[in-house]
Amino acid sequence: MSRKLRVALVGCGQIADAHLQEINKIALAEIVGVCDRQVDLAEQAAARFDVPQAFDDLQRMIAEVQPDVLHIATPPHTHCGLAIDALKQGLHVYVEKPFTLDATEAEEIFEVARNVGRTVCVGHDQLFDPVWEACRARVKAGELGRIVHVDSIQGYDLSGPFGKAFASEPQHWVHRLPGGLFQNVMSHAMYRITDFVPDREPAIWATAFAPVSDAGTPTELRVMLRGQDVTAHLIFSSTIRPVQRVARIYGTKASLEVDLDGRTVRAFRKLTAPGPFAKIQAPARHCGEAARTLARHVLQFLRGDIHYFAGMNRLFTLFYQSILDNSTPPIPPREVCRVTGIMDRVFRAYQEETDKSRNQTGSDTRELIPAGLLT
């Protein structure tokens, strides 16, 4: 199949700009239309990214531009219905994270996709960031030995434009998600864990802080997962500064720290120098790593080859190629459903304990809310 895939997008909010920017860089695709219920948003997006047509009616867009692929960048509670409708009309579908409200909806989407012979991809783009792919390659090569634990930190800035919007609007769609703010953001941190925790149903312990946002929404979450061979700890925080996207992977031979914002990978290995010389060996190793990373980033910058959404671009490219080749999508359906199911259990864990605490005290508390170990 030599022709370009015709790609359309519905939902012209903040993340749509990244989609349109990256699709425009991909030779396999061309953007043929954008749609939003507020036509002004669609028209503005079309003007900024040279999209030929803008619509405020999805069915009309599909009928007129006849896309091969639909990117769904609307609020999560609309994903399932839009995806199933698009699949039944013969379109392949890319769905922004969070994929669906729950695992049941995820299964419904993939069942329809199987029945109509179309492909679905979820927006877990940070798995395809160059620094995460470098980390995964080093793990696969056996550098770390057997993985025993993963730490994943996802920071969030409530003072940003989106944070201010949902915090000041009690009816904002984020508040209606089963997992609230956590569900809209923490999937990034979770799938950095599930990349190395293969269990379908690991044991889960969750702790949410009581509401701290203006809208009364919990904004701090701590999660422990225990798989058969690997444990993990997830921190979601709106108070830790600086805001971080960091993961640490601990193995029996060595460990890695991955900073997605700095796009750095730092290794921790056994110190072999005797006595006090070990105190020199460790920082010397880290200085050497930092110098090599800095040199590489400077060269990439001079070539114009450092891009914030590089992972998104690669995921789009792999997804489009899987459509053209009729091959497995870059994130298999079973993996999407597994991660969605794990997140469902996290949300249930802390919500059950939150409700229990409220019933006992008759009001909210700013103490930690523990959720039992779910198996």
pLDDT at site 366: 39
pLDDT surpassing 60 at residue 146: yes
Ranges 162-171, 241-250, 255-264: which has the least confidence: 162-171
pLDDT digits (tens, 9 = 90+) for 202-216: 999 998 875 555 556
d(CA 375, CA 360): 25
Sign of CA dihedral 18, 24, 29, 35: positive
- The rounded distance, in Å, linking the Cα atoms of 109 and 95 is 11
**Which amino acid appears at position 89 of this protein?**
Q
CB 154 within 8 A of CB 188: yes
Lowest mean pLDDT of 113-117, 256-260, 348-352, name the range.
348-352
User: Is pLDDT above 60 for 330?
Assistant: yes
Residue-averaged pLDDT of the chain:
90
Span 134-162, mean pLDDT?
A: 93
Q: pLDDT at position 216, please? A: 65
Residue 214: per-residue pLDDT: 56
The mean per-residue pLDDT over the stretch 364-375 comes to 43
Q: How many helices (H) and strands (E) does the chain have?
A: 12, 14
Q: How confident is the model at residue 219 (pLDDT cuts 50, 70, 90)?
A: confident
Q: Taking the CB of residue 368, how many other CB atoms lie within 10 A of it?
A: 13
Q: How far apart are CA 374 and CA 158, in angstroms?
A: 30
Which pLDDT score is estimated for 352?
73
Quick: pLDDT tens for 337-352.
999 999 999 998 887 7
pTM above threshold 0.85: yes
User: Using the 8-state DSSP alphabet, how is residue 100 labeled?
Assistant: -
Amino acid in position 122: V
Q: Which of 71-80, 171-180, 290-299 has the lowest mean pLDDT?
A: 171-180
Please give the residue that has the higher pLDDT: either 238 or 46: 46
The whole-number pLDDT of residue 370 equals 40
On the question of pLDDT at 100 being above 70, the answer is: yes
What local confidence, expressed as pLDDT, does residue 341 receive? 96
For residue 242, whether the previous peptide bond is cis, meaning omega lies within 30 degrees of 0, is yes
343 near 186, Cβ under 8 Å?
yes
Calculate the alpha carbon distances from 162 to 156, 159, 172, 218 in Å: 10, 8, 11, 16
In the predicted structure, residue 373 carries a pLDDT above the cut 90: no
